[in-house]
Structure 1
């Protein structure tokens, strides 16, 4: 297994953090429009942030495929899964709002929890990667001395 550079890990951690924070923002916005006060404005904001989430999830997925394919293959599957779930979530959201398919809320909300769970796990995996890299470098430096 190749160890990624510190720069590669830092970029991955930044992408994962931005993606996770945007997913958290989605959850907050969803809670706001469920209250029905200024519902349309909150739904519009929820849709805009959904596009940001999709863009960040796409960037994270592409970066993982390109930069971490040799060192952390399991992350490729996780970031692809996250991106696919985000895209499915966006489609469900559009069907709910654009085509008045409110029954899809029964799928949309649980899927949001699954996506949120993935968004919580990825940063911990990224931090674990950094710790493992530091430990590997520390062991290599100590052994070389």
Structure 2
């Protein structure tokens, strides 16, 4: 028998029904997938040597992929808030991921729609935060599914 070494470990060591855990894990997994796809498309439209038309296609694809990120992050947050209240860390992480994804989307629109290129460093740094948080949530949801 193992004993958790921190208060956080004790607090997150919860028993949650299999259905909500599975739904949360699937929704977080889909969010991670679309965050990954967004990073791939970002790498394409910032490449040198692309025509303006190709750059616009990749920029549009990048922007469109933001919607499933926000939708799946919102769905994961809703499942977390309504069905996984006992797993506070995962729930707070899912809500934060949704909020950060929306802020990320807004910053992207500031760059493309308003022409505020000075926002780009903030957009990129926040992208790394969103990526890291989504991966942490994926690991956390897997631990919840295993009952840890």
Report the alpha carbon displacement of residue 15 of structure 1 after superposing the two structures with TM. 0.6
Query: In the TM superposition, what whole-angstrom CA distance separates every residue of 1:96-131 from its partner, at most 9, and x where no partner exists?
Result: 000110010010001000100011111111111122
Report the alpha carbon displacement of residue 92 of structure 1 after superposing the two structures with TM. 0.4
CA distance in 1, matches of 2:147, 2:72: 25
Root-mean-square deviation over aligned CA pairs: 1.4
- With 123-132 and 48-57 compared, the bigger mean Cα shift is at 123-132
**Alignment match of 1:100 (pick from 92, 102, 115):** 115
Structure 2 equivalent of residue 49 of structure 1: 65
Correspondence 1:124 to 2:139: yes
**Alignment match of 1:24 (pick from 36, 55, 80):** 36
DSSP-derived class of the 1:3 partner: coil
Correspondence 1:65 to 2:65: no
CA distance in 2, matches of 1:102, 1:73: 37
Correspondence 1:35 to 2:47: yes
Report the alpha carbon displacement of residue 132 of structure 1 after superposing the two structures with TM. 2.5
Structure having the larger proportion of residues in helix: 1
TM-score by length of 2: 0.84
Structure 2 equivalent of residue 85 of structure 1: 100
- 5+ residue gaps in structure 2? 1-12
